[in-house]
Structure formats: structure tokens, C-alpha cells
Amino acid sequence: MTQARTALITGAGSGIGRALALEAVRRGYAPILVGRTEASLRETRALFPGTSATIVTADVTTAEGRRAIAEAAGARLDVLINNAGTLSVGHLRDMDDAALERMAATNLVAPMALTRDLLPALKAGQGRVANIGSVFGDIAYPFFAAYSATKFGLRGFSDALRRELSGSGVGVTYIAPRATRTAAEAEFAALVEPLAMTLDSAERVAAEAWTAIEAGRRESFPRGKERFFVKVQRLFPALVDKSVGAQARDARTLKALEPVSKA
């Protein structure tokens, strides 16, 4: 009997993670749903009744949580999607240590540590690591400074890991969605208009992510202006400094930040 392909998805209880799980099932994978809240994971699980799925209630930022995840993955894993993330927005001067540490731990350290722990299973399955980054991992946005830094780090980790694992049979895909309509949108909703953000649905992000994963691509960016600006950023960063800096100084942007500012 052929063993079902498995896909382990962190942050699977809501938003992009939930959409990634649904898309995984649609494509024939048995999902391993990881998150901190069992009730949310069960809500995700209920969306595909009759499908083999595993729920793992665990915190990816802790060694204990990662051990539980590795035990659930078993000896063989086809796809690991590091999706769990957190976001705090505002002036850097207003960010306390807890917010900075939370973003670094969840968005960067946890994916590195979990990938390390699951490498034996991924090698056994000749699988693929997919890291969910952000367009802000290329285009560093004001008032998203710490978040951008973690996503820059995740992109760097993805490139380095891909090269380190070359020849091992394990691939690495970095996925960089733009702003997405999820519960996290509430954190930056006031900035959508002044910063001219385009928002995608979680379903669209998940479909594009899985297309990139199954095609074995090294990276995936959204269609539209953001893809163009990523290329400009990499070649002519001073041009982006000028454009985005003007947005940061705009009175509408600064006014939108007032509710989240401590100043």
C-alpha cells in the first residue's frame, strides 16, 4: 500500500495556515496540523471530514513543543511548511522587548530550530521545506521594522539552507506573500490605505504557495506591483528608500499610527 504524502503545517489553526491545510488536502496530502490552540486546530480539521489528519497542540518556540511536533511527524515527512508567525506594528521607539523577542522567536528562531529537528524525516521522504516569509522580507517597510528584519532573516535562512542541503534530496522554497486578509490584518488595518497596500485572500496565498512547492521553485512572489518592486529593491534600493520614505513621512500615515503609538 502506498503511504500517503504528509504535510506538516505550523500555525494551522487560522488564516494562511488553515488555507494551506485545506489546499494540502485538496492536493492529496495527509496534513499534520500544528498550533498552540487545540480548539482552533479542531475547527480547521472539521473543514475536511473523512480525511486522515493529525492535530498537534504545541508551541513551536519551545523545545518541548518541537519535540512533540517531531514525534507526530514520525520517521518520514514530505513537506514542512513553516507558517506560524506574529506581527507587531508601529514606531520602533514604541516596541518593548517582549514584542521584539516574540517576533524573533516565532518568525525566525522557531522555523530554524524546527527544520533542524525534522531534517532526518525530510531526508527520509526526500521532502521539501517551505518557509512562509513576506514581501517585507525584501522591501523593508517603516513601522514594520522588526517584522521585516525577521522575514529578511527567514529569506537568508532559506537561501543558506537550500545550498547546504544541495544534493541531499531535500528542497527549500521561500514564499513571500503580500499583506493578507486574516485576523492579523487588524494589527495594520489603519496603514492599508496610506501605504497603498494590496491585500490577498488567504486562499489565494495558499494556492500560490502550494503551486510553488509542488513545482520545486526556489521562491515565490505575488503577481503585481510587489514583484516589480522586489526587483527594483534588489537592484536599486535607493529608489525604494525615496519612495517608501515619502510614504513614512506622509501626514496620513503618521495619523494612522496614532492609535498604536505610545508617544
Tell me which residues are annotated as active site: 147
Look at residue 46 and give its three-state secondary structure. Answer: coil
Whether 206 contacts 180, CB under 8 Å: no
In the chain, DSSP assigns E strands to 6-10, 30-35, 54-57, 79-82, 128-132, 171-175, 180-181, 200-201, 219-220
Please name which of 200, 186, 197, 189 lies closest in space to residue 256, comparing C-alpha atoms: 189
CA distances for 248 relative to 144, 234, 235, angstroms: 11, 20, 22
Place of cell 521562491: 219
128 phi and psi, to 5 degrees?
-145, 140
Which of 108, 107, 17 lies closest to 55 in space, CA to CA?
17
**Pairing relation of β-strands 200-201 and 30-35?**
unpaired
Buried-state track 162-201, b at ≥16 Cβ within 10 A, e below 16: beebeeeebbbbbbbbbbbebebeebbebbeebbebeebe
